[in-house]
Amino acid sequence: MWIIYLSIGAIILSLAYLGFVAFKTFKESKPAINRLNETIARVQQKADTLKVESDQLTKSQQEIVSDIDYKKEAVSYTTDAAKDTLATFKKLVKIRPIAKLKRKKSRTPAY
């Protein structure tokens, strides 16, 4: 019977030693875990900062693209207007001599 008590005592001592070693290991690893948590917090903060900056850059890019499109449209409109002006001027030149001829005919005396 004393072997059973000795075995139970050995099991209890081994469980106590296991608890002591586990507690010691946890206590020794706690500063490392805290440093890791602080590092994770810093990395998360930097990631959030990068996300905000990325969003701002995307917004700026969209504004620049919109501005370029607007200016491109303005230049195209001006170019088209200049082309139309040349065509209108050519029509005006063609019409003007006819008007001069009509005026000259009306001024000539009839015999």
Helix (H, G, I), strand (E, B) or coil at 59: helix
List the chain pLDDT tens, one digit each, 111 residues. 889 999 999 999 999 999 999 999 999 999 999 999 999 999 999 999 999 999 999 999 999 999 999 999 999 998 888 888 877 877 777 776 555 556 555 555 554
pLDDT-above-70 percentage for the chain: 85
Q: Note the pLDDT of residue 94.
A: 75
The DSSP 8-state label assigned to residue 111 in this structure reads -
Put simply, whether the predicted model's pTM sits higher than 0.75 gets the answer: no
Indicate the helix (H) or strand (E) that contains 102.
Answer: helix 2-107
Residue 73, Cα to own-chain centre: how many angstroms?
24
The DSSP 8-state label assigned to residue 1 in this structure reads -
Q: Note the pLDDT of residue 17.
A: 95
32-35 contacts at long range (C-beta below 8 A, 24 or more positions apart): none
Helix (H, G, I), strand (E, B) or coil at 97: helix
Give domain limits for the chain: 1-76
Q: Note the pLDDT of residue 96.
A: 61
